[in-house]
Amino acid sequence: MTPDVLLVIFAALLGLLVGSFSNVLIWRLPRGESIAFPPSHCPNCDHRLGVPDLVPVLSWVSLGGKCRYCRAPIKARYPVVELLTGLGYGVIAALFPPLVVGWGALGLMVLFTILLVGSAIDLDTYTIPDELTLPGTALGILFGFLNGRAGAEGLPDLAGAVQGALLGAGLVVAINQFGSWVLRRFRERSFPEAPIGYQQISLALLAGAWLGPWWGLGAALLSAAVNVMARRVVRVPELLTLGGLLVSVVLGSAGYGPGMILMVQGALAAAGATSLVAGVYWWLKYRGQSADEGADEPADASAMGFGDVKLAAVIGAFLGWERLLLTLVVAVFAGALFGVAQLAMKRENRVKFGPFLAVGALVALIWGTQIIEGYRGSLGL
């Protein structure tokens, strides 16, 4: 066998092992438990699991899907996650040979695990843990640095990873901001966050459009500092920020300011940077608490969860902004089809957007280059 084939087989076996650990993350992260201690144990009887109980897929099959010690059923999801991870790692190694792209292949495997674990948790709890997305964004930027050093073709370098993360978070949070504003019938938020939250993100959108991403982030941080010094929320009206952004885009299209495209890019990048700063702040403040303990007030109407914003940052960091845009198009299309199917079957649609983002990212990862090149060709670019 050739070295490339051996690496694919090794990657698939590695995926099976990582899939077993992914099941630990899926169970423990939403519960705020340590992922290292105590060692693996049955969630029903708490008996510590031995090596024969932890062989990916084979242990579940040999035990008939039941705990060796208390005979409680073991969810079929455990071997499914292991098999999917093994398959995913093998496909990544085949499409992005480690001998060619170097660390980039490992980075894409990390992304696959984040997407799978995040989707499984989202389906269970309707949340995507910060412990997964915020470090995941940092890892995506780190692998971007390694990609640049190795000259990995088709994968973002450091600048591309940072740009992808900021635009990913910014685009999704902008959709959320305007969607939520419409859901509230253009009324102001009843419960603005202190000292930093959605109001500062809206301010970053407006300031970033005219001044660029880093000045936009600076304006948001200045607003947060005013809140800290005032010891209360000093409101930044959304009629001014979101309404002002709409006016700004119209002016940009008419030739005023930096121009519409640069204004949109600056607004989204500034909002993305502010979102990540806010995400880190709230993660550190409420780490170890449940969602109910961390919420001081009822939530305003929201178009989507903030976990989706941070997951989009992860995808953008690992795949770059072009594949991120393709990810969002596929996710929206898949989500719409699923919603129509649910309505046709008269079922309530409560599936969050995270799994659709994961599906979109996988499509962008596997077929992204061909789709993007085909689209450019149709435009004559």
Q: What are the tokens at 361? A: 């990212």
- Rounded CA gap, 335 and 330, in Å? 8
Torsion of CA 371, 375, 175, 264, to 10 degrees: 130
CA 98 to chain centre: 24
Task: Give the span between the Cα atoms of 87 and 15, in whole angstroms.
Answer: 7
**Lowest-pLDDT choice from 62-71, 151-160, 293-302, 353-362:** 293-302
pLDDT of residue 350: 67
For Cα atoms 158, 159, 164, give the angle at the middle one, nearest 5 degrees: 100
Token pair of 32 as six digits: 């705020």
User: Structure pTM?
Assistant: 0.94
**Does residue 19 carry a pLDDT above 80?**
yes
Q: Which helix (H) or strand (E) holds 331?
A: helix 321-344
pLDDT per residue over 201-210, tens digit each? 999 999 999 9
Task: Report the range of poorest mean pLDDT among 16-25, 87-96, 144-153, 335-344.
Answer: 335-344
> Quick one: tokens of 92?
């990544």
48 beta partners: 41
Confidence of residue 197 (pLDDT cuts 50, 70, 90): very high
> Is pLDDT above 80 for 295?
no
- Residue 41 pairs in a beta bridge with 48
Q: Are 270 and 204 in contact (CB under 8 A)?
A: yes
Residue type, 203: L
Residue 300: pLDDT above 70? Answer: no
pLDDT for the residue numbered 269? 98
Please answer whether residues 286 and 323 qualify as being in contact, where contact means their C-beta atoms are separated by less than 8 angstroms. no
Residue appearing with tokens 């178009």 = 303
Measure the CA–CA gap between 138 and 59, rounded to whole angstroms: 35
128: Cβ contacts below 8 Å, ≥ 6 apart: 118, 121, 122, 305, 307, 308, 310, 311, 352, 354
Q: What is the dihedral of CA 221, 322, 359, 175, to 10 degrees?
A: 40
Asked if 9 contacts 90 with a C-beta cutoff of 8 angstroms, the reply is yes
**H helices, E strands: number in the chain:** 15, 0
Phi, psi (5° rounding) for residue 73?
-65, 140
pLDDT score for 299? 61
In angstroms, rounded to a whole number, what is the distance separating the alpha carbons of residues 332 and 335?
A: 5
Which residue bears the tokens 């423990």? 28
Nearest 5°: the CA angle 65, 69, 73 is 30
C-alpha distances out from residue 13 to 16, 60, 94, 112, 376, Å: 5, 17, 14, 15, 37
More confident residue, 73 or 377: 73
pLDDT tens digit string along 32-66?
Answer: 888 888 888 888 898 888 888 889 999 999 999 99
More confident residue, 376 or 64: 64
How far from 90 is each of 77, 85, 336, CA to CA, in Å? 20, 8, 30
Candidates 173, 258, 174; CA nearest to 211 is: 258
303 or 8, which is more confident: 8
Of 78-82, 266-270, 286-290, give the lowest mean pLDDT range.
286-290
